Structure 1
Amino acid sequence: MFGLGTLVNAAGVVAGGFLGLLIGSRLPHGLQDSLMKATGLAVLFLGLAGALEQMLQVSQGQLVSRGSMLVIISLTVGTLIGEALNIEQAFEDFGKWLKRVTKNERDTTFVDAFVTASLTICIGAMAVVGSIQDGLRGDYSILLAKAVLDAIIVLILTVSKGKGALFAAVPILLFQGSLTLLAHFLAPIMTAAALDNLSMIGSILIFCVGINLIWGKLLKVANMLPALILAVMLTFLPFFG
């Protein structure tokens, strides 16, 4: 079935969210806060490991780094574009709309939970590669694996931040569904090098989400999202390819 991977992924997010609601209502506030910090720490290391995996290579018996200029240009220019477009505010406005239409006006953490969960599970190479494979060959194995990971992440985020996290299923449907529909167009662009760069920048953004989970909202991660597109575009320039 075309697009089945995205549907299963979204269902996993919802299932994780509902389970988180059942568990979270039985936990004291202090424990919920500890879980949020622990989740933030895990997200930090997931992002750090993903970024270093792409940046560090062994050459002639020595550990060397790559992609420093790509990281600097992608993040700085991407953030400038994101700030100009005010993507973070658009995310929050969408979250407020969901909050209103789902009759959750009294939930003060809804928007924060929605934005945090959406950014955590939508950024990354698994979403892109899995969606393209689903669209081209009907192979949704990557998205099935991602569904399990996302369910666990959203479960914990729902426990620690509230029910808004489970509505991250909506961006999953919109983002991955669009990639699946556009798979034939995107496949030639998403070369191995482009995916490596996308994974590197995506992992850095996931690291930034972890910072916000632990220390509060210090970074506007949504405004950095254009860096992902720039990372792919720069791949095709001689200096970065």
Structure 2
Amino acid sequence: MTGDPSILLAKSVLDFLTAAIFATTLGFAVAAICIPQLVVLLVLATGATYLVPLTTALMNDNFAAVGGVLMLATGFRICGIVKFSVGNMLPALVLAMPMTAIWLRFVGS
């Protein structure tokens, strides 16, 4: 959403390396998943271009904070420290920006 592709490029390299590792054991299934993944990512990128003019810096910060909390919860779950149900927390990503806009509209800055 910022227009800086460096993070996307880094993530794509990491995804490629991970897919190469999985392809050694899963074979064709990893190669076949690239088509729907490409469609989903293009839809998300296109949607982000329409969303950017409607957002503020505070909305982006809150969205990043929610994403950080989800990543932390995922890490705790992977390590076996705490069994968070991260799937139930995903709607928070969708609600972060609208809730920020509502908060700013009624409470003010």
TM bin (shorter chain): 0.5 to 0.7
Q: 1:225 deviation in Å?
A: 0.7
Matched with 1:231 is 96
**Pair 1:177-2:39 in alignment:** no
Matched with 2:87 is 222
Change (3 A) 1:186 1:226: same
Equivalent pairs, count: 99
Q: Give, as a single letter, the amino acid of the residue that structure 1 aligns with 2:13.
A: V
Could you tell me the TM-score, scaled by structure 2's length? 0.65
Matched with 1:204 is 69
Can you list the C-alpha shifts for 1:131-190, whole angstroms capped at 9, x where unaligned?
A: xx3xxxxx64431122234445x36x85xxx74xx5875675344311222244211233
Separation in 2, partners of 1:207, 1:185: 29
Can you list the C-alpha shifts for 1:55-96, whole angstroms capped at 9, x where unaligned?
A: xxxxxxxxxxxxxxxxxxxxxxxxxxxxxxxxxxxxxxxxxx
Change (3 A) 1:211 1:144: same
Q: Give aligned-pair identity as a percent.
A: 33
Counterpart among 192, 206, 209 of residue 57 in structure 2 = 192
Change (3 A) 1:194 1:208: same
Change (3 A) 1:209 1:169: farther
Q: RMSD between aligned alpha carbons?
A: 3.4
Separation in 2, partners of 1:150, 1:228: 22
Separation in 1, partners of 2:39, 2:64: 20
Q: 1:230 deviation in Å?
A: 1.5
Q: Which ranges of structure 1 fall in alignment gaps of 5 or more residues?
A: 1-128, 134-138
Could you tell me the TM-score, scaled by structure 1's length? 0.33
SS in 2 for 1:218: coil
